[in-house]
Structure 1
């Protein structure tokens, strides 16, 4: 603590008396936000040190998507959601500091093998009619704009509470096979619960979308800041509207069995830099 305070003072961010006072921990000092568990694998979160800087640096993927940057002038850290489809190997992000200089930061993505799940669902939700395909494409384009949300400020909390009690019925990353046909891996966590069970916000956030979608059924999206979003699907009812601000633990909806499902449950998704990542990384161990 003393070293951090003196370094801040040397950067002109604390006066020396303030630095000396800060050297004695105060019980009133708030604890830092608990960051997600690091996992440099497809579907995981990389925690990359950006080093010191007087102001928060800007960080982006190579594709130009802004990244969540947290920390303080002693050390800033970029949190990078890694897409499930990413091949293991070398990757990098780009960082720009206050003087406009840009530099790459490289990291390595390790392989991870996810399990497979075979499900039987209504044939019309696998082989879509022309009308259903057109509806899906409209909804996909709309949700792409929702997923591009990046708001300030960055979140103050990162450790999430589970939005509904229940058994985890399907984990993130499972390769889904519907009626014998392979589809995209599971992009969230399924929690089995009875229809009508309240769904609670895991973090403070703002409602940025609600709707009834072909695959996801009743759906709510929350924006927590800095490109961190959460999604709740298959809802039987929605108790919020776009623009509502919620605190941790506030009710937003109720569990249901709408959309493409085999029974009542909550599909809970966590998105970081427009990438679905494993919600378990944001939960207490």
Structure 2
């Protein structure tokens, strides 16, 4: 029996589960991963928060699912999470498993590691601004929309998410995205429909664009040589909106691509 026939003859909940596997991110309950939690039926969209931010809840009155971004700093263990469904509080359990990320040592310009007072002041101003960008929250995409993303630029993955990075012998924050090596000027295309919510030139990230895909799902593109969009622009999947570069703290031309869910950076590979 073919897959289509199998789904058609299965109960409604089974068909929804099969659909979710094909259109939603991979379930990976580790620091930096994404958890897909079944919430069950409710007449209205349940209210669910995680990491002090509203979780992305998709579905309908027959079956709701929460998609939760798990911060890299999360300690392994079992967590009890309250969810409001039809005015009543219920507990959902989330078991986060451990994951060891490898180490990466890089040589970069010393001034991008040991910051001057002026550069540090600039970094702090930019960090305060980006904090407001990362709290953006809009309505989720329609429930039928796929959250599987197209890779924004062709090329070799030169650095993966979660790497413990050491710049010039000094430990820094883990890598919060995926690096894709590509020549300067290579067009970068939107992996999902989204709205441009920030465009800037930042000390570490260089030329940068943020997209809002709805419901607390954001994506960021860094080290750009050229930006061909402005805040407020609406993009569709496949629209070219910027170009690969080597701006900011880099060792060569590439695209840094980050995905954020409920204000937690998560592994973009889970959405491909």
TM-score by shorter chain over 0.5: yes
Deviations 1:151-209 (A, max 9, x none): 01335220000000000000000000000000011000000000000000000000000
Instruction: For residue 93 of structure 1, report the CA deviation from its aligned partner.
Output: 2.5
Instruction: For residue 245 of structure 1, report the CA deviation from its aligned partner.
Output: 0.1
State which structure, 1 or 2, has the greater radius of gyration over its C-alpha atoms.
Answer: 1
Q: Give distance in 2, aligned partners of 1:227 and 1:104.
A: 22
Does residue 88 of the first structure (1) align with residue 76 of the second (2)?
A: yes
Instruction: For residue 117 of structure 1, report the CA deviation from its aligned partner.
Output: 0.3
1:112 maps to which of 92, 99, 103? 99
Q: Give distance in 1, aligned partners of 2:58 and 2:140.
A: 11
Instruction: For residue 92 of structure 1, report the CA deviation from its aligned partner.
Output: 3.1
Does residue 180 of the first structure (1) align with residue 169 of the second (2)?
A: yes
2:66 maps to which of 69, 74, 78? 78
Q: Give distance in 2, aligned partners of 1:35 and 1:50.
A: 16
CA contact (8 A) 1:237 1:254 kept: yes
Question: Unmatched 5+ residue regions in structure 1?
Answer: 8-30
Report runs of 4+ in structure 1 exceeding 3 Å deviation: 1-5
Mean alpha-carbon deviation: is it higher for 144-153 or for 252-261? 144-153
CA contact (8 A) 1:222 1:231 kept: yes
Does residue 163 of the first structure (1) align with residue 152 of the second (2)?
A: yes
Match of 2:251 in 1: 262
Q: Which SS does the other structure have where 1:210 is aligned?
A: strand
Q: Give distance in 2, aligned partners of 1:188 and 1:105.
A: 28
Match of 1:103 in 2: 90
How many residue pairs match? The answer is: 257
Alignment of 1:198-277 (within 5 A): 198-277=187-266
Match of 1:135 in 2: 122
Match of 2:5 in 1: none
Alpha carbons of 1:3 and 1:194: their partners in 2 closer, same or farther (altered >3 Å)?
closer
Q: Give distance in 1, aligned partners of 2:47 and 2:255.
A: 35
Q: Which SS does the other structure have where 1:144 is aligned?
A: helix
CA contact (8 A) 2:45 2:57 kept: yes
Q: Which SS does the other structure have where 2:122 is aligned?
A: helix
Question: Unmatched 5+ residue regions in structure 2?
Answer: 1-7, 14-18
Q: Give distance in 2, aligned partners of 1:175 and 1:262.
A: 16
Q: Normalising by the residue count of structure 1, what TM-score does the alignment of the two structures yield?
A: 0.87
CA contact (8 A) 1:68 1:154 kept: no
Match of 1:26 in 2: none
Instruction: For residue 4 of structure 1, report the CA deviation from its aligned partner.
Output: 5.7
CA RMSD of aligned residues (A): 1.6
CA contact (8 A) 1:119 1:179 kept: yes
